[in-house]
Amino acid sequence: MTTTRPTDLGVALAELEGSGARPRAGGTDLTACLAHGVLAPAPVVDLTGVDDLRGIDWREDGSARVGALTSVHDLSADARLREAYPALARTAGALATPQVRGTATLGGNLLQRNRCWYLRNPAFDCFQTGGDACPAREGDHLRGVVVDQGPCVAPHPSTVAVALVAYDAVAEVAGEGSRERPVAELYDGADPFRDHVLSPTQVLVSVSLPAPVPGERAAYLRATGRSRAEWPLVEVTVRLACADGGDGPVETAAVAVGGVARTPLRLPRVESALVGAVPGVEPGAAFVAALDGLADLCSPLPATGYKVPLLRETVRAGVERALGFARD
Ligand SMILES: Cc1cc2nc3c(=O)[nH]c(=O)nc-3n(C[C@H](O)[C@H](O)[C@H](O)COP(=O)(O)OP(=O)(O)OC[C@H]3O[C@@H](n4cnc5c(N)ncnc54)[C@H](O)[C@@H]3O)c2cc1C
Ligand code: SF4
């Protein structure tokens, strides 16, 4: 199969159109998908030469537009991004390994395929590989969803998406039907056939973040089955905008979770219960009630009931970390 390396976005889009080719960024997932039959053999359009997808631009209001080729490492290590968007930096810095973070890109992370064992095994067919069923639903779905949104039960794999959904970030997409859309709308939990809504002829160009909140308190936490090089069972990104540059009570909160559903999820009840919480102090009864209410959100599969308490405890611990409240 051929690989081209255009330097112009228009040329890249033209090469993708009608050719069956797949766009490649860092290649850490696409290469494996092509090698293991998750995707049918296809020509590759290497995006890494396209300048329009590179760089971080800062607007007058202090907000950032981040090019899709920005590495996951840079999302966590760029000094200005770290200061402006601490929850994004902490989230990006916690995923995979240093080697993967150095190669993986923002766009590739958001658009990677899920980690379902059946999807990754060419011996099985499923909705995502041209079949008409989900073998994981009746089979081994230990790492599957606990919020059942549709026929496919594989959790959304992108850790960076969790943070971006907490920021209400907006994605710029080029190609057929090109437009800006919230990052949250890149995913459709009811669609069993694909992990994101972009077609192979569309290219993610950039992601825009809102103006930073001075003194934002932030945390990222994941529950994993082993300590390194592992996708999370449950993960949470917490952003707290507090009065007095970060030391006063919470004015607004954003809490997003991954590993539980086909899409990253915001937790509005938890967010509103946190308004008024004070840094360094254990949050009160409203927060505890909101945590208890997370069980109502869940619709576990036979083997994913363990994620109901895991979700509660991961969110609790993530929020407490962001508040700087230490348990005895
Ligand atoms: C040991 C290990 C642990 C990991 N743990 C985690 C984890 O905890 N959390 C997590 O999120 N990930 C994890 N990963 C996955 C890793 O983060 C992804 O493989 C990586 O982010 C993909 O980025 P990439 O640039 O290499 O994408 P590529 O492999 O190049 O592309 C991925 C997909 O996106 C498409 N694509 C890429 N860029 C664009 C674009 N600009 N426009 C349109 N389509 C595009 C490609 O066609 C392909 O389908 C882990 C990987 C490993 C090996
Ligand atoms: S439909 Fe989804 S959960 Fe089911 S086997 Fe395929 S990828 Fe896995």
**Domain coordinates in residue numbering, the chain:** 217-323
With H, G, I as helix, E, B as strand and everything else as coil, classify residue 43: coil
Does 304 sit in the ligand 2 pocket, CB within 6 Å? no
Q: Which ligand is nearest to the CA of 113?
A: 1
- Where does the pLDDT of residue 137 fall: very low under 50, low under 70, confident under 90, or very high at 90 and above? very high
User: Which residue type is seen at 176?
Assistant: E
CA-nearest residue for atom 13, ligand 1, is: 96
Distance 116 CA to ligand 1 centre (A): 15
Q: Which of 108, 64, 55 is nearest to 86 (CA)?
A: 64
Residues with CB under 6 A from ligand 1: 22-30, 47, 53, 68, 72, 95-97, 100, 103-105, 107-109, 111-112, 157-160, 198, 203-204, 229, 231-232
- Quick check: 52 and 29 in contact, CB under 8 A? no
- Where does the pLDDT of residue 195 fall: very low under 50, low under 70, confident under 90, or very high at 90 and above? very high
Task: Examine the pLDDT at 322 and tell me if it is beyond 70.
Answer: yes
Predicted confidence (pLDDT) per residue in 18-62, tens digit: 889 999 999 999 999 999 888 999 999 999 999 999 999 999 999
Q: Which ligand is nearest to the CA of 100?
A: 1
Distance 177 CA to ligand 1 centre (A): 23
Predicted confidence (pLDDT) per residue in 152-193, tens digit: 999 999 999 999 999 999 999 999 888 899 999 999 999 999
- Quick check: 141 and 118 in contact, CB under 8 A? no
> End-to-end CA distance of the chain, in Å?
59
pTM above 0.95, yes or no: yes
Task: Examine the pLDDT at 328 and tell me if it is beyond 70.
Answer: no
pLDDT higher for 36 or 84? Answer: 84
| pLDDT score for 178 | 81
Neighbour-count burial for 143-179, b at 16+ CB within 10 Å, e otherwise: bbbbbbbbbbbbbbbbbbbbbbbbbebbbbbbbeeee
Predicted confidence (pLDDT) per residue in 211-247, tens digit: 999 989 999 999 998 877 789 999 999 999 999 999 9
C-alpha distances out from residue 173 to 4, 198, 202, 211, Å: 21, 8, 7, 21
| pLDDT score for 239 | 98
Instruction: Give the architecture-level CATH label for domain 217-323.
Output: 2-Layer Sandwich (3.30)
Ligand 2 atom index nearest CA of 117:
8
Residues 6+ apart with CB under 8 A from 14: none
